[in-house]
Structure 1
Amino acid sequence: MVFGTTHKVKTHRLGRRRKKGGNRMVVAPWIVITLVCVLVAAGLTWGFVALMRAGCSGAVYRVSIAVAPSVFGTLEDAALEWEATEPEASNGQCIGAEIREVTAADASRGISGGWDEKVLGPLPIAWVPDSQAWVSWKAADDATAGYVAADPLVLGKAASVLAVPASKAAELGWDATPPAWTDVLTAAQNGTVALAAADPRASTEGLVSMLNATGDGAGGFSEDAMAAWNGAIAAGTVLPDADEQLEAYNTDPDPTQVITALDYQVEDFNTVNEPADPLVPITPAGPSVDAVATYLVLGGGWVSDSDAAIAEAFGDHLKTAVDSGAFEDSELQAVEDPAAALAQTTPDTVGATVKSWNVGREALHVLFLIDRSATSDSETVEYGGESLTAGDAAVRAAVDTVEGMDPTYQAGMWEYGVGADGDQPYREVTDMAELSDDNRDGLIQDLLAASENSYEGSAPLYDTLVAAYTYMNEQSADGALNVIVVLTNSSQDQSSSGTAEETATALTGLGGSTTVYTVGFGETDPANLTTLATATGGAYIAAPADGGVLEAIGGS
């Protein structure tokens, strides 16, 4: 049941079917004619009444609303129910809401700039994150504070918990007496437990857990607690979200693991997997920040007054459901005091916490240059326990690197060879973009597709590298480390306009903060590749036989 409405399902009748044929009542023709006339008249009357009662007209104009996956289904049902009431704009136009599933982390990053409409759909007019903490994060940034100025509607909450194996919870007595966060972090640092954290920059459960772990107990932020949190996760593991941590536990159960999660994630995991050592959801003692799901109309420059009015009308529909107690979502608990729930994550506190967390964590922006010249197919090397052409090994190394990169990092890919793009010696295959799930998958597919390409002649690395260096300097952003990773087995570049030394001088003259790392496969010439890399403060890397490029460039 959604918003108190029971969806009707056709009944499956068990009674006997009527027999075909048999005795039939004979109906006089005049009765048939009279009946037809009555039905026609009734139809005309019904049509007139329907016309008189018709509300909006024309095709439905819908505004886009970005909704977190956990509440996507419920909001989609709500939009359908609202649209069934035939809401209309002031000009009589039919209006509605297009619900699009976008994680709160992806929406948060996209709203800040660089929204990918191909992946995420149109820029949203309203936003439904599964935690108000994301909204406070945007409000703490001067550049985006005005985008989320509208008062949010509280839809419900999920509790931030630690998923602890039942055996470990009983051993430590946490099932009977939950520990404080300080106890949890101490236990993680001394090895009593292993903290399996979700990334605060990529998941709601990670962000809310960090806010709880680093709080000062009075709604503020503690630097000492942040230091303890960093020490605890350094001794444990960090993955993009709780789902990945839970899957890792399911594959290889570790009774010492303590996983940051939301309450419904633990319940779902136990129900689906039925682990031998089930996970117990434990809420650490003391003040606790919940993941409070909210609906809010955005105020960015792309939001017109008319679109905002439509989004606000849908918000009124939601508010009626919430106020009446009809709003139901299986993964959310009701909120008794919305004002208090919103006060848990103020822009000041969230801003200070995120700022402290980001200290020393530069975002990594990587452009891969993949050698697809004839040279790359001429040599066989060992990579990952397989014999591959040097070109295919380079692609595999790039794929492995992308798979290990943080979701907030950016990456793109060019391939190069004589005639790769007409008269241009390189082809810009994948634009730089943050590694959301869809963007990561797209980049990996582009890398694998590069294995099908091969260009005649030698590898025009030098000219390609100068163009790529200029491009990356143009992409530079505060707090980001720009890196070009060249993957090649070429020893000499006989196609470019200059020498390795001249190219190194050109790179130095371009300035900027981009760093070049050259990765050599097989019988490549390290001297030329070293010259190019060191001119930018980078280094030459002999291709690891089992990956490890990310670690070599300091991005892990």
Structure 2
Amino acid sequence: MVFGTTHKVKSHRLGRRRKKGGSRMVVAPWIVITLVCVLVASGLTWGFVALMRSGCSGPIYRVTVAVAPSLFGTLEDAAQEWEATQPEASTGQCIGAEIREVSARDAQAGMSTNWEEKTLGPRPIAWVPDSQAWASYLGSSEATAGIVAAADPLVLGEASSVLAVPDSKAAELGWTGGEPPTWADVVAAAQAGDITIAAANPRRSTEGLVAMLNAAGDGAGGLSAEAMAAWKTATGTGALAADADELLAAYAETPDPTRVMTALDYQVDDFNAENDPADPLVAVSPAGTNVSAVATYLVLGGGWVSKSDAGIAEQFGSFLRGEVESGAFEDPELGPVDDPAAALAQTTTEAVGEAVNAWRVGREELHVLFLVDRSSSTGAETVSYNGDDLTAGDAAVQTAIATVQAMESNSRAGLWEYGVGAGDDAPYREVADLAELSDDHRETLETDLYDVSEDSYDGGSPLYDTLVAARDYMNGHATDGALSVIVVLTNSSRDEVSEGSAADTAAALTEQGGSTVVYTVGFGETDPENLTTLAAATGGSYVQAPSEGDVLDAIGG
């Protein structure tokens, strides 16, 4: 609950404890009366003022602060403490801060493209990323540099960039108890086959981003092209995951003594405390690790930020600054920073932008056609998505929107819907052509997907005919150097409308040829057998629908 508003954005952490917060104890009226009497009698007038608010007047006006999940609890507590001091605007109105949990990557992507209020909440006036590198990345683009250009970052603390290494492997390689390896040593060990590097995606996670900046750094805050090429090669042989949570969860399920994972220091501690593995992980900080995850508070300068809202956010920032300088601000994920200026100078805006762009070079461009099932079955089943109970069809639409938001701007995307009667002469409708994800096309696609969620077609699901036609379309639009993909989103694995069976359709897809790969995403109680048959015929696979977020990693993006 965020100041009376149900909080629906789930944390991606491994269960780290919150600093404070929690449920409130209900207090009987006679206790309150007694407490007031004691406070007054003892001269503690601040207690009486807290109970009898008499400073500002009117309803509390709150500005939105987007906060990374690892810092959400601490910032929520700080906002409540600030509000208890009765801050007020120049007009005398009561003011406050509404803390919204938004990953740093989602916030950066939302401010770079089209902020999706339905998923992320209101556009933020202030931002607390868990690494200043995300603000640097936002500032590296001319189109979005103004959002953070005037910000005066307040350093809240930092987490160290480390490698999570099984203790047995770290001891074998001599990485504990003496001089730590350099990043070049780590890459060399991967090239020799002694380890595999399982990296978190630097475009999706803080731990992946700071690891890349360290591994590819030139030691002076810039980028080494040679080191970047070596890092890309080394991480290309391992598992590229969305974040360290995913890497660590996979390790917990199937421990691998050769696997070395990018992480932050507290994530390694949490993993060992929560899993008590037989071969615990040790946090190895390679020599030359100059970039940490520096958490900051920034008042934004986007066109949506009014002068009055910015002023309120600055007042909250002043309160936080006082807490930090007095030592009262503490977060279990963060270590203190002795020299904030040096922490902010660990890398530059130009270096971060160059590093992220260099990491992308050589990776396949992604072309995706979404096939969204709008047959009657999609409205008859309820599933959970993002903590809400939605129809399977609406969950499919939300998954498609999240995937569009996660795709790179040089990718291409299109949209079809299908159901009996969807098209004039076909059981499908071509809603949006395959096109590059410019800001305009991304916004158009999201609008089209919301419009599609209003459509419903009586009868069965004509998947087979639609899929054959869609693959013919995508094969016709295939280009060299691009990964051509169809993503089917459905809760129906049976098709009693099209001619033939799933096996017949799979044979037709095989005969059709082409490079387009099909991924079938199943929601609810769908039987994955037929969906697997269809996808496998093209070299793709069946994907169980996520309970939140996108399917980009599952389709090779």
Same fold (TM over 0.5): yes
Deviation at 1:530, TM superposition (A): 7.8
State the partner residue of 1:188. 190
Rate the CA distance shift 1:359–1:421 in 2: closer, same or farther, 3 A.
same
List gaps (5 residues or longer) in structure 2: 1-16, 28-40, 377-391, 439-451, 520-532, 543-553
State the partner residue of 1:319. 321
Rate the CA distance shift 1:202–1:547 in 2: closer, same or farther, 3 A.
farther
Rate the CA distance shift 1:304–1:362 in 2: closer, same or farther, 3 A.
farther
Aligned mates of 2:540, 2:397 — CA distance in 1: 8
State the partner residue of 1:39. none
2:74 is the counterpart of 1:74? yes
Rate the CA distance shift 1:162–1:554 in 2: closer, same or farther, 3 A.
closer
2:140 is the counterpart of 1:140? yes
2:175 is the counterpart of 1:174? yes
Amino acid at match of 2:201: D
State the partner residue of 2:357. 355
Q: 296, 299, 316: which one pairs with 2:298? A: 296
SS of the residue 2:262 aligns to:
strand
Aligned mates of 2:107, 2:487 — CA distance in 1: 29
Amino acid at match of 1:522: A
Deviations for 1:295-320, whole angstroms, at most 9, x for unmatched residues?
00111111111111111110001001
Aligned mates of 1:209, 1:241 — CA distance in 2: 12
Q: Contact between 1:418 and 1:459, CA under 8 Å: does it hold in 2? A: no
2:554 is the counterpart of 1:549? no
State the partner residue of 2:63. 63
Matches within 5 A, 1:362-381: 362=364, 364=366, 366-369=368-371
Aligned mates of 1:404, 1:370 — CA distance in 2: 13
Deviation at 1:166, TM superposition (A): 0.8
Deviation at 1:119, TM superposition (A): 1.1
Deviation at 1:348, TM superposition (A): 1.3
Rate the CA distance shift 1:341–1:366 in 2: closer, same or farther, 3 A.
same
Q: Contact between 1:158 and 1:333, CA under 8 Å: does it hold in 2? A: yes
State the partner residue of 1:202. 204
Q: Contact between 1:418 and 1:460, CA under 8 Å: does it hold in 2? A: no
State the partner residue of 1:454. 459
Rate the CA distance shift 1:337–1:236 in 2: closer, same or farther, 3 A.
same
Aligned mates of 1:154, 1:220 — CA distance in 2: 21
How many residues align? The count is 451
Aligned mates of 1:528, 1:280 — CA distance in 2: 48
- Judge which range, 153-162 or 186-195, deviates more: 186-195
State the partner residue of 1:235. 237
Q: 406, 418, 421: which one pairs with 1:419? A: 421
Matches within 5 A, 1:252-267: 252-267=254-269
Amino acid at match of 2:360: N
SS of the residue 1:340 aligns to:
helix
State the partner residue of 1:276. 278
SS of the residue 2:94 aligns to:
strand
2:122 is the counterpart of 1:122? yes
Q: Contact between 1:368 and 1:486, CA under 8 Å: does it hold in 2? A: yes
State the partner residue of 1:161. 162
Aligned mates of 1:288, 1:230 — CA distance in 2: 19
- Judge which range, 423-432 or 136-145, deviates more: 423-432
2:338 is the counterpart of 1:336? yes
Deviation at 1:402, TM superposition (A): 12
SS of the residue 2:504 aligns to:
coil
Q: Contact between 2:105 and 2:134, CA under 8 Å: does it hold in 1? A: yes
Amino acid at match of 1:314: F
Rate the CA distance shift 1:400–1:277 in 2: closer, same or farther, 3 A.
farther
Rate the CA distance shift 1:360–1:337 in 2: closer, same or farther, 3 A.
same
Rate the CA distance shift 1:457–1:308 in 2: closer, same or farther, 3 A.
closer
Aligned mates of 1:265, 1:429 — CA distance in 2: 43
State the partner residue of 1:523. 504
Deviation at 1:372, TM superposition (A): 7.3
Amino acid at match of 2:185: D
State the partner residue of 2:14. none
SS of the residue 1:81 aligns to:
helix
Q: Contact between 1:401 and 1:550, CA under 8 Å: does it hold in 2? A: no
Aligned mates of 1:105, 1:75 — CA distance in 2: 18
SS of the residue 2:503 aligns to:
coil
SS of the residue 1:284 aligns to:
coil
Amino acid at match of 1:311: A
Amino acid at match of 1:212: N
| TM score, norm. by length of structure 2 | 0.68
Aligned mates of 1:345, 1:128 — CA distance in 2: 18
Aligned mates of 2:306, 2:400 — CA distance in 1: 41
Aligned mates of 2:486, 2:118 — CA distance in 1: 25
Aligned mates of 2:518, 2:209 — CA distance in 1: 37
Deviations for 1:375-398, whole angstroms, at most 9, x for unmatched residues?
xxxxxxxxxxxxxxxxx9xxxx99
Deviation at 1:338, TM superposition (A): 0.5
Deviation at 1:227, TM superposition (A): 1.0
Deviation at 1:179, TM superposition (A): 0.1
**CA RMSD of superposed structures (Å):** 5.1
Amino acid at match of 2:122: P
- Judge which range, 330-339 or 363-372, deviates more: 363-372
Rate the CA distance shift 1:137–1:482 in 2: closer, same or farther, 3 A.
farther
Q: Contact between 1:492 and 1:525, CA under 8 Å: does it hold in 2? A: no
Deviation at 1:413, TM superposition (A): 6.2
Rate the CA distance shift 1:109–1:93 in 2: closer, same or farther, 3 A.
same
| TM score, norm. by length of structure 1 | 0.68
Rate the CA distance shift 1:307–1:550 in 2: closer, same or farther, 3 A.
farther
SS of the residue 1:333 aligns to:
coil
Amino acid at match of 2:224: S
Aligned mates of 1:178, 1:130 — CA distance in 2: 26
Deviations for 1:503-530, whole angstroms, at most 9, x for unmatched residues?
xxxxxxxxxxxxxxxxx94223977998
Rate the CA distance shift 1:222–1:192 in 2: closer, same or farther, 3 A.
same
Aligned mates of 1:11, 1:306 — CA distance in 2: 36
Q: Contact between 1:489 and 1:524, CA under 8 Å: does it hold in 2? A: no
Aligned mates of 2:92, 2:398 — CA distance in 1: 52
Amino acid at match of 1:549: G
Deviation at 1:491, TM superposition (A): 13
Rate the CA distance shift 1:58–1:416 in 2: closer, same or farther, 3 A.
same
State the partner residue of 2:381. none
State, as a whole percentage, how many aligned pairs show the same letter: 57
Deviation at 1:92, TM superposition (A): 1.4
Aligned mates of 1:211, 1:183 — CA distance in 2: 16
